[in-house]
C-alpha cells in the first residue's frame, strides 16, 4: 500500500510536465499505425496495378491509354469539376450530381414502398401467399428491361430513369424486410401481448427495431443495385448524368474521359454503400446481440 | 374472496387436432390465495409452461377456465406480468427504457410523466439495478438481465406475477442471490406469485405451496406440498430445519420415485 502510494507520488510530476505532448505523440502514433495497417496495403496494390497498366499500355499501338496519358488528357475535367458550358457540356460534378439525384429519388421511393410491402408480406400469411410468388418472378427481370416499358408509360427520360432505380432497388428491400419481420422472436411478441401494445405501438416499438438489421441489409443491397442500374439507364436516356457522359465520351472516342468517369463511378458507389452501412450501424445500435 | 384470488378450473389443453393431437394437460384445478407464492414443479415436458401460459392468457385452454379476482382470463394483460425464462428484454432499449416502456403503457393515463419516471426508478432500485440505467441488455450479465426482467414485471403492479423458470439459465451462486432478492421483494410487496421451476430447493425455499405435476402427456396435478416454514426464511438456517427437510424429501420422492422422468421413445 505504502509502496504504491509512493510510486504514484513519484510518477505524478512526470505526468504533469508533459501531458499534452505525450497525448499528441500517442495520437500520432495511433494514427500512424492505423495508416500502416489499413491504408498502406490497398495503396501499394493500387500502385502496382497502375505500374502494370502503364507498362502494358505504353506502346504506341496500344488500344487503351496508359495512366499518365489519362491524367494529361483529362486534366481539364479533373481540375474543373464545376464547369458549366450549358446543355450537357458540364463538369463531372454536375453529371455525378444529376445521377446521384436520380438514384436518391428512386431509392427513397423504393425504400418506403419496399419496407411497406415487406412489412405486409412479413406479417400476413395471406399477403405472403398472394404476393411472394409475384415478387420472386418480378425480381429476376433485369433493370434495363424495364426501361422501354417505362419510357412508353412516362414518355420522358427523367421519370423513366427514376422508375428503373425504384424497380431495381425495391426487391431486396421487400424480401429482407419480410424475412426480418417473420423472424421476430416469439419472446418479443409475448412481451408486446402482455403489455397490450396496440398495432401502431407494436409496429414502432417492436417490429421496426427488431427487423432493422434485416431491413438495412436490404437497403444496402438496394443502393448497390441502384447505382449499377443508373449508369446503364442513363446511357440510353441521354441528358446530364454520368452514364450518358460515358456513352458520349465513347462516341467521341475520348477513352481517357471514360476511364476517369469509371473511377468516379466506383468511388461514388463505394461512398453510397458506406453511407447506408453507417446509417444502419447508427440505427441498429445494440440490436445485433441479445 | 381473497382465498379464491386465482382460480384455475378444470383446465385441459390439447395441441393439434385429429391423429396428431397431443394432450398436454388434463383436468388441472387449483386455487391460490391473495399473496400466496405457489411453485409448479415437474419434469421437463410435463406442461408446466403451458399451464403458466394459459394463466397468462398467452395461449387459450382447450377446456376449463382461469379466473383472477373473479374475472375470467381471455387474453394476456399487464395484470398477469410474466418474467420469461430468457428475460426477453428488448435489446435496442436501455435497461431504463425497457422498464419505462411497461410503465408508460400500464400507467400512461393514471400517472404523470414525473411519477412514471419515479416508479421506473423505484422498481429498478428494488432489484438493485439503478447503477445500469443507460446500459443495453447486451452489456449486462445474465443475472442482471433477469433482474431487469423482474423489475419490468413488478413495475406493472400485477395482480399475479408469473415466473417461468426465472433462474433456470443462471449459475448456482447468481441464482441463490436472486432467490434471496425475490424473497425480500415479496416480503415487501406481498405479491401473488406463480413460479415454474425444476429446482427442488428453490421451490421449498420460496414457496408457500408446491404443486407437483405428473409426467406428460396429459399431465395432472400429482400432489401439493404445503411448505409450513415461517418467513423471513434464511437459506442457511433452513439446512437443518426438519420441516424444510421433510418438504424437500416429499418433492424429491415425488419426482424421482413416483413420477420418474421417462425418456421420450
- Quick check: B183 pLDDT over 80? yes
B contacts of A288 (beta carbons < 8 Å): 138
Mean pLDDT of B203-223: 89
Entry field: residues in chain A: 290
Q: Which residue of B has its CA nearest to A201?
A: B105
Q: With an 8 Å Cβ cutoff, are A287 and B92 in contact?
A: yes
SS3 assignment, position A80:
coil
A contacts of B97 (beta carbons < 8 Å): none
Quote the minimal CA–CA distance from B129 to chain A in Å: 18
Q: With an 8 Å Cβ cutoff, are A290 and B78 in contact?
A: no
Q: How far apart are CA B226 and CA B228, in angstroms?
A: 6
Q: Which residue of A has its CA nearest to B149?
A: A191
- How many CB atoms neighbour CB B21 within 10 A? 10
Residue-level pLDDT at A18: 65
B contacts of A197 (beta carbons < 8 Å): 105
* pLDDT tens for chain A, residues 1 to 290: 455 555 544 544 444 556 788 888 888 988 888 888 888 899 999 999 999 999 998 888 888 899 988 998 888 888 888 888 777 788 889 999 999 999 999 999 999 999 999 999 998 999 999 999 999 999 999 989 999 999 999 998 899 999 999 999 999 999 999 999 999 998 899 999 999 999 999 998 999 999 999 999 999 999 999 999 999 999 988 888 999 999 999 999 899 999 999 999 999 999 999 999 999 988 887 554 43
The question of ipTM being above 0.90 is answered as: no
Q: How far apart are CA B144 and CA A64, in angstroms?
A: 65
Residues 6+ apart with CB under 8 A from B163: B82, B83, B193, B194, B195, B196
Mean pLDDT of B187-202: 90
Eight-state DSSP code of residue A35: I
Eight-state DSSP code of residue A143: G
Q: With an 8 Å Cβ cutoff, are B91 and A287 in contact?
A: yes
pTM: 0.77
The cell for A182 is 417473420
Residue-level pLDDT at A17: 58
Residue-level pLDDT at B265: 41
A contacts of B82 (beta carbons < 8 Å): 190, 194
Residue-level pLDDT at A212: 92
Q: Which residue of B has its CA nearest to A190?
A: B58
Q: How far apart are CA A278 and CA A282, in angstroms?
A: 6
Residues 6+ apart with CB under 8 A from B187: B231, B232
Q: A55-82: b or e for each residue (b if 16 or more CB lie within 10 Å)?
A: eebeeeeeeebbbebbeebbeebeeeee
Residue-level pLDDT at A135: 93
Q: How far apart are CA A45 and CA A43, in angstroms?
A: 5
Q: How far apart are CA B68 and CA B70, in angstroms?
A: 5
B contacts of A192 (beta carbons < 8 Å): none
Closest partner residue to A290 (CB to CB) among B80, B91, B105 is B91
Residue with cell 439525384: A101
Quote the minimal CA–CA distance from A190 to chain B in Å: 7
Which tens digit of pLDDT belongs to each residue from A144-199? Answer: 999 999 999 999 889 999 999 999 999 999 999 999 999 999 889 999 999 999 99
Partner A contacted by B133 (CB < 8 A): no
Q: With an 8 Å Cβ cutoff, are B105 and A197 in contact?
A: yes
Q: With an 8 Å Cβ cutoff, are B78 and A206 in contact?
A: no
Quote the minimal CA–CA distance from A49 to chain B in Å: 44
> Are B13 and B61 a contacting pair, CB within 8 Å?
yes
Partner A contacted by B58 (CB < 8 A): yes
Residue-level pLDDT at B263: 57
Mean pLDDT of B111-117: 93
DSSP assignments along A81-119, one per residue? TT-B-STT-B-HHHHHHHHHHHHHHHHHHHHHHHHHHHH
Question: Measuring CA to CA, which residue among A148, A174, A170, A172 is closest to residue A161?
Answer: A148
- How many CB atoms neighbour CB B199 within 10 A? 17
Eight-state DSSP code of residue A288: S
Residue-level pLDDT at A110: 96
Closest partner residue to A209 (CB to CB) among B58, B92, B105 is B92
- Quick check: B207 pLDDT over 60? yes
Q: How far apart are CA B262 and CA B46, in angstroms?
A: 11
Average pLDDT, chain B: 88
- Strand runs (DSSP E) across A8-62, as ranges? none
Interface A:B, Cβ pairs < 8 A: 63
Amino acid at each position: 500500500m505504502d509502496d504504491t502510494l509512493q510510486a504514484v507520488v513519484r510518477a505524478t510530476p512526470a505526468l504533469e510536465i508533459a501531458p499534452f505532448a505525450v497525448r499528441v505523440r500517442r495520437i500520432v502514433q495511433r494514427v500512424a499505425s492505423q495508416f500502416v495497417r489499413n491504408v498502406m496495403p490497398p495503396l501499394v496494390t493500387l500502385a502496382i496495378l497502375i505500374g502494370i497498366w502503364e507498362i502494358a499500355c505504353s506502346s504506341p499501338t496500344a488500344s487503351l491509354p496508359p495512366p499518365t496519358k489519362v491524367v494529361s488528357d483529362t486534366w481539364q475535367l479533373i481540375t474543373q469539376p464545376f464547369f458549366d458550358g450549358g446543355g450537357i457540356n458540364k463538369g463531372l460534378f454536375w453529371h455525378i450530381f444529376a445521377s446521384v439525384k436520380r438514384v436518391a429519388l428512386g431509392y427513397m421511393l423504393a425504400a418506403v414502398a419496399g419496407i411497406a410491402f415487406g412489412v405486409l408480406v412479413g406479417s400476413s400469411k395471406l399477403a405472403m401467399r398472394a404476393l411472394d410468388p409475384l415478387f420472386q418472378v418480378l425480381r429476376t427481370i433485369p433493370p434495363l428491361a424495364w426501361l422501354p416499358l417505362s419510357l412508353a408509360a412516362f414518355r420522358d427520360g427523367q421519370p423513366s430513369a427514376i422508375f428503373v432505380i425504384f424497380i431495381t432497388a425495391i426487391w431486396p428491400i421487400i424480401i429482407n424486410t419480410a424475412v426480418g419481420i417473420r423472424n421476430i422472436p416469439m419472446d418479443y411478441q409475448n412481451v408486446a401481448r402482455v403489455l397490450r401494445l396496440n398495432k401502431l405501438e407494436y409496429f414502432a416499438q417492436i417490429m421496426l427495431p427488431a427487423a432493422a438489421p434485416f431491413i438495412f441489409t436490404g437497403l444496402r443491397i438496394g443502393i448497390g443495385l441502384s447505382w449499377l442500374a443508373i449508369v446503364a439507364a442513363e446511357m440510353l436516356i441521354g441528358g446530364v448524368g454520368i452514364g450518358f457522359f460515358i456513352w458520349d465520351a465513347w462516341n467521341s472516342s475520348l477513352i481517357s474521359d471514360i476511364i476517369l468517369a469509371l473511377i468516379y463511378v466506383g468511388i461514388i458507389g463505394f461512398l453510397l454503400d458506406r453511407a447506408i452501412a453507417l446509417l444502419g450501424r447508427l440505427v441498429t445500435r445494440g440490436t445485433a446481440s441479445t | 374472496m381473497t382465498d379464491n384470488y386465482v382460480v384455475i378450473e378444470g383446465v385441459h389443453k390439447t395441441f393439434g387436432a385429429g391423429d396428431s393431437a397431443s394432450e398436454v394437460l388434463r383436468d388441472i384445478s387449483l386455487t391460490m390465495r391473495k399473496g400466496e407464492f405457489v411453485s409448479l414443479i415437474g419434469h421437463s415436458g410435463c406442461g408446466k409452461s403451458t399451464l403458466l401460459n394459459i394463466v397468462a392468457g398467452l395461449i387459450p385452454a382447450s377446456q376449463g377456465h382461469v379466473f383472477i379476482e373473479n374475472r375470467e382470463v381471455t387474453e394476456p394483460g399487464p395484470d398477469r406480468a410474466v418474467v420469461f425464462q430468457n428475460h426477453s428484454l428488448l435489446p435496442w432499449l436501455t435497461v431504463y427504457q425497457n422498464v419505462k416502456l411497461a410503465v408508460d403503457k400500464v400507467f400512461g393515463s393514471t400517472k404523470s410523466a414525473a411519477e412514471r419516471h419515479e416508479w421506473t426508478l423505484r422498481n429498478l432500485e428494488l432489484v438493485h439495478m439503478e447503477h445500469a440505467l443507460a446500459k443495453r441488455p447486451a452489456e449486462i450479465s445474465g443475472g442482471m438481465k433477469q433482474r431487469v426482467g423482474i423489475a419490468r414485471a413488478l413495475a406493472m403492479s400485477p395482480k399475479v406475477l408469473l415466473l417461468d423458470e426465472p433462474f433456470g439459465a443462471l449459475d448456482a451462486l447468481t441464482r441463490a442471490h436472486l432467490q434471496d432478492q425475490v424473497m425480500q421483494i415479496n416480503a415487501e410487496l406481498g405479491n401473488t406469485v406463480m413460479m415454474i421451476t425444476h429446482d427442488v430447493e428453490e421451490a421449498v425455499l420460496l414457496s408457500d405451496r408446491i404443486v407437483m405435476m405428473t409426467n406428460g402427456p396429459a399431465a395432472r396435478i400429482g400432489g401439493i406440498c404445503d411448505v409450513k416454514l415461517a418467513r423471513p426464511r434464511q437459506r442457511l438456517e433452513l439446512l437443518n430445519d426438519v420441516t424444510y427437510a421433510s418438504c424437500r424429501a416429499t418433492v424429491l420422492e415425488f419426482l424421482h420415485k413416483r413420477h420418474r422422468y421417462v425418456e421420450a421413445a
